[in-house]
Amino acid sequence: MTTQAPADICAGGTPRDAGAPEYLLRLFVTGQTPRSTLALENIRKICEQHLSGRYRLEVVDIYQEPQMASEAQIIAAPTVVKILPEPLRRIIGDLSDVNKVLRALDLKPQAAGCS
Amino acid sequence: MGSTRSGKTAPTVDSNPNQREQLPKTPTGIEGFDLITFGGLPKGRPSLVCGGPGCGKTLFALTYLVNGATMYDEPGVLMTFEEKADEVAANAASLGFDIAGLSAQKKIAVDYVRVERSEIEESGDFDLEGLFVRIDYAIKTVNAKRIVLDTLEALFSGLKNTAILRAELRRLFAWLKERGVTAVITAERGDGQLTRHGMEEYVSDCVILLDVVAYEQIITRRLRVVKYRGSAHGTNEYPFLIDDQGISVLPITAAGLAHKIVDGVVSSGVPTLDDMLDIGGFFRGSSVLFSGGSGTGKTTFASSFAAAAAQRGEKCLYFAFEESPEQIVRNMLSIGLDLQKHVDSGLLRFSASRPSTYGYEMHLARMNRDMDNFHPDVVIVDPLSAFRGSISEIHNTLMRMVDMLKSRGVTAVFTRLTSTQELHSGMDQGISSLIDAWVLLADLEVAGRRTRGVYLMKARGMSHSNQVRQYVMTKRGLRVIEGAFEGREEQSFPTIPLAKASNIRTAAKPKKRPTASRR
């Protein structure tokens, strides 16, 4: 429900005007499909838990901005692209497997999951 | 054979396939291909083009797309998974396709889909909406009627979850059908199945198999329509050709022996040779072979035939496999035959190439295309003996060549170099069955002199002289000397003017047997 506007959404925790954040993530969703909504919830949760204050999350709805899908080489949906830090990574799916997401973000998986 | 229909989906089949409404087709514009598929690819449905590496899948697909945009006013989308957009443009440029220009005119949209395994992590359920959105966007950009997905299978290397992938592919093809775009999907040939990832499961309307074989360093490309649901199609392996003019497929038409008979008689250009045949020449649309040893004037006879055709106002296509056209034109001037004026008038056209440059299939394909462009009445193939290889293969090539010519009603003249030893070898017998008239040119030794004799080995459908006649090549042309060769005419050399019977030398010699001995 949060991705009404196609415009980028800054998730909480972004340091205001404090230069570039350490992590730049862009989530590509397809409207408000359950999978997209779930992915957005999941990535928000993960970011808050592991990257609080160090990240910036942008959300792009490729139904609204289809040319973005081509520009960002999106095949699957939903997809989170880790733009910073390099190297670039794409995490596809509803992000329900947290450990895989963490691995792709170069973060240490937590043994006990996240809740 | 052609129409593979599953029983339940075909309630309207009636007994006469011609009465049945034809499946709508989308022409590819690929020469020959539209012919063997009776119109092209199934309209609004996906077709699969599969084959090993380097067999021309991408070029086939590109040609289909570019032809659509340029010839049929059907814009197209290229989703390329393996080559970047600029690489595709560069490759296409080698075929004379201006992808960049067509993109600028909004006739073609290219989207390069990069699938990089190392970048991708899968976490939870996903779908391929990203790809769908891109395809949809590209289709809308140019209002596409055609789409090429080259090579969709690249997805398999990037995505681990093949269960999702397969379900999504199924959805993709259903979606493409729904949109009514005519899709070409390329796929790599797999072991024991058509494609490596079983794409044929999803694309079942039309499957085309490309294949490339190398034999004695000569490459032959072949195309086969494996399946075409709801449509008849040629089932053979057809050779196809990729060169600077794009792709063309050579349909070895099901001509068989059902050639149309063209009436009429054509002159060989040597009146005295025509006289040996009781109809005064050769049948139009027949195939004539001039065979003989080296220096017996095979090319001269063939050239006379060509010149005679042009003289009659007919078009003649001369396939020269040993000499360059310039050389032939120059040499024929020495017997007073001016070929150049016929070349200038556009009635005579040469097509020269070394036989070893291409495989047999390629030659057939090229000849076919040249004939399509020129519509000749007479075709000269000089010489046949330039084709080398196994007897069965040559025989097969000739058979198809003859079929190709006959189905067009073209009068064909072949020359063939034969050495005396192989005169009656299997090869010649093989050729004999294919041709209608066989003129044998021979070096004869008569009374210690070398001279030339011509005789008709066979001439189907007409009675003909059984005599061996002497012929001479003079500045005024070829001339067969009338009457049985009796060794009277000794001066058979080009430099000496035509001999009179009352020659001094004749007196010196006793008369020989009425027919010449051949050794």
Nearest CA in chain B to A87: B119
Distance from CA of A17 to the nearest CA of B (A): 30
Average pLDDT over residues B355-365: 70
* CATH, residue B92: 3.40.50.300
User: Which DSSP state fits B513?
Assistant: -
> What does the CA dihedral B22, B204, B132, B104 come to, rounded to 10 degrees?
-50
The pLDDT score that the predictor gives to residue B376 is 93
Considering only A111-115, B37-41, B61-65, B346-350, which range has the smallest mean pLDDT?
A: A111-115
Nearest CB to B124; choose among A87, A95, A103: A95
Token digits for B249? 């497929």
Residue B46 counted as domain residue:
yes
The predicted-structure confidence for B122-156, as pLDDT tens digits, reads as follows 998 999 999 999 999 999 999 999 999 998 888 88
Is residue B506 pLDDT above 80, yes or no?
Answer: no
The radius of gyration of chain B's CA atoms, rounded to the nearest angstrom, is 29
Amino acid at B298: K
Are the C-beta atoms of residues A42 and A59 closer than 8 Å to each other?
no
Boundary (domain end) residue, out of B249, B284, B315 = B249
* Chain A residue set in contact with B, beta carbons under 8 Å: 28, 30, 35, 38-39, 42, 62-63, 66-67, 69-70, 73-79, 87-98, 100-101, 103-104
Residue B154 counted as domain residue:
yes
Average pLDDT, chain B: 80
Nearest CA in chain A to B110: A70
Q: Are residues B66 and B202 in the same domain?
A: yes
CATH 3.40.30.10 fits A23-104, yes or no: yes
Is residue A17 pLDDT above 60, yes or no?
Answer: no
Nearest CA in chain B to A92: B122
Boundary (domain end) residue, out of B219, B249, B279 = B249
Considering only B65-79, B80-94, B255-269, B450-464, which range has the smallest mean pLDDT?
A: B255-269
Are the C-beta atoms of residues B463 and B483 closer than 8 Å to each other?
no
Average pLDDT over residues B71-77: 94
Query: Which residues in chain A are closer than 8 Å to B103, comparing Cβ atoms?
Result: none
CB contact under 8 A, A94 and B137: no
Q: Are residues B360 and B497 in the same domain?
A: yes
Name, in order, each residue with C-beta under 8 angstroms of B493's C-beta and a sequence gap of 6 or more: B472
Average pLDDT over residues B487-494: 43
Token digits for A3? 């991705």
Chain B interface test: which of A40, A92, A106 (most B C-beta within 10 Å): A92
Highest mean pLDDT: which of A13-22, B369-378, B400-409? Answer: B369-378
CB contact under 8 A, B128 and A97: no
Domain count for chain B: 2
Q: Are residues B302 and B186 in the same domain?
A: no
Name, in order, each residue with C-beta under 8 angstroms of B326's C-beta and a sequence gap of 6 or more: none
Give bridge partners of residue B46 from the DSSP assignment: B183
The pLDDT score that the predictor gives to residue A10 is 45
How far apart, in whole angstroms, are the C-alpha atoms of residue A113 and residue A42?
Answer: 12
The pLDDT score that the predictor gives to residue B369 is 80
The pLDDT score that the predictor gives to residue A81 is 94
The pLDDT score that the predictor gives to residue B368 is 81
Highest mean pLDDT: which of B207-216, B235-244, B257-266, B496-505? Answer: B207-216
B432: Cα separation from own chain's centroid: 22
Q: Estimate the share of chain B in helix, then strand, then coil, as percent rounded to the nearest 5.
A: 35, 25, 40
Is the bond preceding A85 in cis, omega lying within 30 degrees of 0? Answer: yes
Name, in order, each residue with C-beta under 8 angstroms of B210's C-beta and a sequence gap of 6 or more: B49, B50, B51, B55, B56, B57, B60, B221, B222, B223, B240
Give the Cβ contact number of residue B166 at 10 Å: 15
Please give the helix or strand (H or E) that residue B246 lies within, else none. Answer: strand B246-249
For chain A, give every domain's residue range.
23-104
Residue B112 counted as domain residue:
yes
Q: Are residues B385 and B299 in the same domain?
A: yes
Give the Cβ contact number of residue B13 at 10 Å: 11
B74 or B468, which is more confident:
B74
Nearest CA in chain B to A68: B134
The predicted-structure confidence for B187-236, as pLDDT tens digits, reads as follows 988 777 788 888 888 887 899 999 887 766 667 788 888 888 888 777 77
CB contact under 8 A, A62 and B136: no
CB contact under 8 A, B124 and A73: no
Q: Are residues B177 and B278 in the same domain?
A: no
Average pLDDT over residues A21-41: 92
Boundary (domain end) residue, out of B225, B249, B273 = B249
Which of the four pLDDT bands, split at 50, 70 and 90, describes residue B370? Answer: confident
Residue B147 counted as domain residue:
yes
B61: Cα separation from own chain's centroid: 21
A3 or B206, which is more confident:
B206
Is residue B171 pLDDT above 90, yes or no?
Answer: yes
Is residue B441 pLDDT above 80, yes or no?
Answer: yes
The predicted-structure confidence for B96-118, as pLDDT tens digits, reads as follows 888 889 999 999 999 999 998 88
How far apart, in whole angstroms, are the C-alpha atoms of residue B273 and residue B459?
Answer: 13
CB contact under 8 A, B121 and A89: yes
Give bridge partners of residue B25 from the DSSP assignment: B42
Residue B41 counted as domain residue:
yes
Quick one: which of B295, B282, B299 has its CA closest to B452? Answer: B295
How far apart, in whole angstroms, are the C-alpha atoms of residue B61 and residue B88?
Answer: 12
Place of tokens 């190392």: B118
Q: Are residues B317 and B193 in the same domain?
A: no
Average pLDDT over residues B290-315: 91
Residue B256 counted as domain residue:
no
Exposure string of B456-476, with b = 16+ CB inside 10 Å and e = fewer, is beebeebebbebbbbbbbbee
The pLDDT score that the predictor gives to residue A83 is 92
Is residue B419 pLDDT above 80, yes or no?
Answer: no
Residue B351 counted as domain residue:
yes
Quick one: which of B141, B201, B206, B195 has its CA closest to B172? Answer: B201
How far apart, in whole angstroms, are the C-alpha atoms of residue B311 and residue B304?
Answer: 10
Nearest CA in chain B to A94: B124
Which of the four pLDDT bands, split at 50, 70 and 90, describes residue B68? Answer: very high
Q: Are residues B222 and B274 in the same domain?
A: no
Exposure string of B329-358, with b = 16+ CB inside 10 Å and e = fewer, is beebeebebebeebbeeebbbbbbeebeeb
Residue B1 counted as domain residue:
no
Place of tokens 């889909």: B113
Q: Are residues B356 and B443 in the same domain?
A: yes
Q: Are residues B399 and B447 in the same domain?
A: yes
The pLDDT score that the predictor gives to residue A7 is 40
The pLDDT score that the predictor gives to residue B245 is 67
Q: Are residues B106 and B43 in the same domain?
A: yes
The pLDDT score that the predictor gives to residue B259 is 57
Quick one: which of B416, B406, B413 has its CA closest to B385? Answer: B416
CB contact under 8 A, B137 and A88: no
Q: Are residues B494 and B389 in the same domain?
A: yes
Which of the four pLDDT bands, split at 50, 70 and 90, describes residue B16? Answer: very low
The predicted-structure confidence for A75-93, as pLDDT tens digits, reads as follows 999 999 999 888 899 999 9
Assembly ipTM: 0.83
Is residue B24 pLDDT above 70, yes or no?
Answer: yes
Q: Are residues B347 and B212 in the same domain?
A: no
Residue numbers of the domain that contains B453:
265-508
